[in-house]
Amino acid sequence: MKAYLLYKNRDFNPQQPLPLNEYDLIHDLELNTLFNAMSMGDDFLFDVSKQVILSGSNDLEVIRYRQDILKDCLKNPSVIREIYQIPMESIEKKRKGWLGIFTYSPDGVLYSALGMMQMFVELLRKLKKIADDHGEKFESEGLTAFFKMIQEELDDDYFAIVEYHLKHLKFQDGVLISAKLGAGNEGTGYILRSPNSKKGNWFKRVFSSRSPVYSFNINGRDEAGIRALSDLRDRGINLVANALAQSADHIDSFLNMLRPELAFYIGCLNLYDKINQMGNPITFPFPEKAKERRHSFRGLYDVCLALTMNQNIVGNDVNADHKNLVIITGANQGGKSTFLRSIGLAQLMMQSGMYVPAEKFHANLCEGVFTHYKRKEDVSMKSGKLDEELGRMSAIVELISSNSLMLFNESFTATNEREGSEIARQITSALIDRHVKVFFVTHMYEFAHAFFDKRMKDAIFLQAERKAGGRRTFKLIEGEPSQTSFGEDVYKEVFVNS
């Protein structure tokens, strides 16, 4: 049995390596806030959410497959949570009951496997009942196939056969084994036989004629005899004990795989509940192929800021379709960095198959998401700040490929504006030539205006809106790069209005 809830034709690998820029993405986009909201204190949910979102997918079919499953989950959250409790219950019962194959003794293996199978049958019956009661409510390809598999694999005949074998494998009437005499009268060819049938009533069984048999009894104090008899029993049940253990392992593996595949959707349900309570919108994005250049949205907001502040957040409307370069300038504290973070978060969420924090979102996939944010001064003074920035950029260049997304936030400002602008211009031009989509938040007017003056068809310029008197709306509007970051507003706030 296979779950196949994250990929159509293969299992999810929770141990797959994360991207090498994992730290930068988590730090710059504040992803731990997102993972914490999805996990609600559960370390396993945290790890799975992190794994799925950071590893993402650039396959349209995979993303749409997950989107459809998640839509089903949002319509039937209680059913999904009930299914998730089945592998959780399995883990808890194994932990409390010390069930497991911890011995090489055939008798010990058989005993442990019987205990596990009896527990698994109970859990599989619960899963089958859920499929029978609720399977028709689901429309996605993934969950429809999942419930169909459960109903076909776990039918009445399956449970009848399993319970029949479990009953007989307890060997309440002893073990019937046949063997042959080999060289030196050593036993060979040990075969476990079905127990003799007890047909008819007790009267016939007592008084009917029997085949002649030779038997002997072992004294209870004969330790060597008892040990020899135990060895004979182990030889007889060895194959069936291993077969039962393999069956138990198969079901255990299914439940162990079901847990992480469902965990991602449980995390999405947890996050949805939090977002819904704050009154913020979500939407399922329209993804396009990586070679396309689509990036248009309405009401896009920073979901991590919303979670931190626990309130509704101002969203932005932008149409950057067919653009390779987006440069954002304007007033301090005007929402530029928040906007940039919302771009990265939405991209990662979309490529993991999730909804995104917006009213509408349409974007192309990318081969990778990269961030280059301004860092604090290196207190160890092992290198200058500009050296550190260029070092990080060099590491990114080693990893980045065509059709990736690059997010710059106040980069290359550790030197004078002329030098910083030239460095930023050359790096940005090289990335665009490499077919990398670039979002750049900057106060370097010389850098921003150099691209604006080119009147590039594949570039768009946004400003942080500032009303009269310095009031910020935290909205971005399209317009020519601003020449100042409005330090005058800061001066008035600190020295005039205080």
pLDDT in tens, 391-404: 999 999 999 999 99
pLDDT over threshold 80, residue 471: no
In 308-467, where do the E strands start and end?
316-319, 325-330, 360-364, 369-373, 405-409, 437-441, 459-466
CB-based contact 439:328 (threshold 8 Å): yes
Cα 407 to Cα 97, 183, 416, 449, 462, distances in angstroms: 51, 79, 21, 19, 15
Of 31-40, 103-112, 150-159, 450-459, give the lowest mean pLDDT range: 103-112
Q: What is the pLDDT of residue 299?
A: 96
Q: What is the pLDDT of residue 114?
A: 75
pLDDT over threshold 60, residue 428: yes
Contacts of 414 (CB under 8 A, 6+ apart): 384, 385, 386, 388, 389, 420
CB-based contact 365:351 (threshold 8 Å): yes
The pair of three-digit structure tokens given for residue 45, joined into one six-digit string: 């949910």
Q: What is the pLDDT of residue 331?
A: 79
Give 136-179 pLDDT, tens digit per residue.
999 999 999 999 999 999 888 888 887 876 676 666 666 666 67
More confident call, 486 vs 445: 445
By residue count, the chain amounts to 498
Give 333-392 pLDDT, tens digit per residue.
778 999 999 999 999 999 999 999 999 999 999 999 999 998 876 666 466 788 999 999
HSE value, Cβ hemisphere, 13 Å, CA-based, for 408: 32
Beta partners for residue 192, in sequence order:
177
Cα 223–226–232 angle (5° rounding)?
Answer: 140
The whole-angstrom separation of Cα 454 and Cα 448 is 11
CB-based contact 107:230 (threshold 8 Å): yes
The whole-angstrom separation of Cα 263 and Cα 254 is 14
Model pTM?
Answer: 0.85
Nearest Cα neighbor of 266 from 41, 1, 96, 11 is: 41
**With bands split at pLDDT 50, 70 and 90, how would you rate the model's confidence at 116?**
confident
CB-based contact 406:438 (threshold 8 Å): yes
Cα 274 to Cα 260, 305, 346, distances in angstroms: 21, 13, 17
| Every domain of the chain and the residues it spans | 57-169+249-277, 281-496
pLDDT over threshold 70, residue 495: no
What backbone phi and psi angles, to 5 degrees, belong to 471? -70, 130
pLDDT over threshold 90, residue 444: yes
Cα 5 to Cα 155, 260, 490, distances in angstroms: 21, 10, 52
Element (H, E) at 191: strand 187-193
The whole-angstrom separation of Cα 89 and Cα 99 is 13
What backbone phi and psi angles, to 5 degrees, belong to 369? -110, 130
Cα 262 to Cα 69, 85, 132, 361, distances in angstroms: 10, 10, 19, 25
Q: What is the pLDDT of residue 252?
A: 87
For domain 281-496, is the CATH number 3.40.50.300? yes
Q: What is the pLDDT of residue 117?
A: 79
The pair of three-digit structure tokens given for residue 44, joined into one six-digit string: 């396993």
**With bands split at pLDDT 50, 70 and 90, how would you rate the model's confidence at 482?**
confident
Using DSSP, state whether 282 is helix, strand or coil.
coil
